[in-house]
């Protein structure tokens, strides 16, 4: 029993002595908007640690059936060696064809730190940053900054229904539906694709009384815009911008 205690103590001591040697990578944006008329877009990766790292970058489709190598984009450099506190520009170039021309397409941009060989009693942690890249074709109708305001909401059949009739993606966080203070529905996040409609299940509501809907939209610049709507059964409404933030 005593020998087991010694071995366990040594194991815990080893874990306590293991300390991170890298602070990780930081991106200078929370999302990338690629306008089709632009030859390329770029972002900056910052190695906030003191040690040398390799930064690997790649794009990923929402569908796992599409391999990164099959996407119509090139990323350069795909692999970059970065010294401590260094910054590296990452360029993304569209091949010019292969994506819908009448609506946005969305991808995940991954930037991952590949640690160098660790010394004894040092714990190295691989850090990956993951943000969305929206490819926006030319000549699309509507204003992307108004897409959240133009969502169509209604309550029908005990469900909260939302329809995005725009050609843009709409990113929402902190969705909440209440009736007379009683919570009926909540979700941390939800993204609506262009021309997509969703049915969100709610708890039972009192017939004839309005449902208060609150949500926050994330715009092109990563800013949070709060919205509020009073939704009455079988009536389609749009939410209005409000200065009151949901917590």
Sequence ranges of the domains in the chain:
23-136, 144-241
For residues 20 and 146, which has the higher predicted lDDT (pLDDT)?
Answer: 146
**CA-to-CA distance for 66 and 70, rounded, in angstroms?**
7
Q: In the predicted model, is pLDDT for residue 21 greater than 90?
A: no
The β-bridge relationship of strands 128-136 and 31-35 is: parallel
144-241 is a CATH 3.40.50.1980 domain:
no
Report the chain's mean pLDDT, rounded to a whole number.
88
| Residues of the chain by 3-state class (helix, strand, coil), percent to 5 | 10, 50, 45
Are 108 and 46 within 8 A, CB to CB? Answer: no
**What local confidence, expressed as pLDDT, does residue 17 receive?**
38
Q: What is the CATH number of domain 23-136?
A: 2.60.40.10
Per-residue pLDDT of 61-100, as tens digits, reads 988 888 998 999 999 999 999 999 999 999 999 999 999 9
For residues 156 and 17, which has the higher predicted lDDT (pLDDT)?
Answer: 156
**What local confidence, expressed as pLDDT, does residue 29 receive?**
96
Q: What token pair was written down for 32?
A: 């990338």
Q: In the predicted model, is pLDDT for residue 192 greater than 50?
A: yes
- Read off the pTM: 0.85
**What local confidence, expressed as pLDDT, does residue 113 receive?**
92
């Amino acid at each position: 029993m005593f020998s087991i205690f010694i071995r366990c103590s040594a194991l815990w001591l080893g874990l306590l002595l293991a300390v991170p040697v890298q602070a990780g990578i930081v991106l200078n944006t929370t999302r990338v908007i690629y306008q089709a008329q632009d030859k390329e877009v770029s972002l900056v990766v910052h190695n906030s640690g003191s040690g040398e790292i390799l930064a690997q970058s790649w794009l990923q489709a929402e569908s796992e059936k599409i391999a990164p190598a099959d996407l119509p984009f090139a990323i350069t450099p795909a692999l970059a060696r970065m010294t401590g506190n260094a910054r590296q520009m990452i360029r993304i170039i569209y091949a010019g064809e292969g994506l819908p021309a009448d609506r946005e397409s969305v991808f995940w941009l991954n930037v991952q730190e590949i640690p160098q060989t660790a010394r004894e009693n040092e714990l190295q942690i691989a850090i990956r940053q993951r943000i969305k890249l929206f490819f926006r074709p030319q000549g699309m109708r509507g204003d992307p900054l108004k897409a959240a305001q133009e969502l169509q909401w209604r309550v029908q059949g005990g469900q909260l229904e939302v329809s995005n009739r725009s050609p843009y993606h709409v990113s929402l966080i902190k969705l909440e539906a209440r009736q007379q203070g009683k919570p009926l529905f909540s979700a941390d996040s939800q993204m609506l694709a262009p021309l997509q409609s969703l049915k969100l299940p709610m708890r039972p509501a009192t017939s004839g009384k309005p449902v208060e809907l609150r949500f926050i939209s994330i715009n092109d610049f990563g800013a949070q815009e709060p919205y509020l709507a009073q939704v009455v059964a079988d009536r389609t409404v749009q939410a209005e911008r409000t200065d009151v933030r949901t917590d």
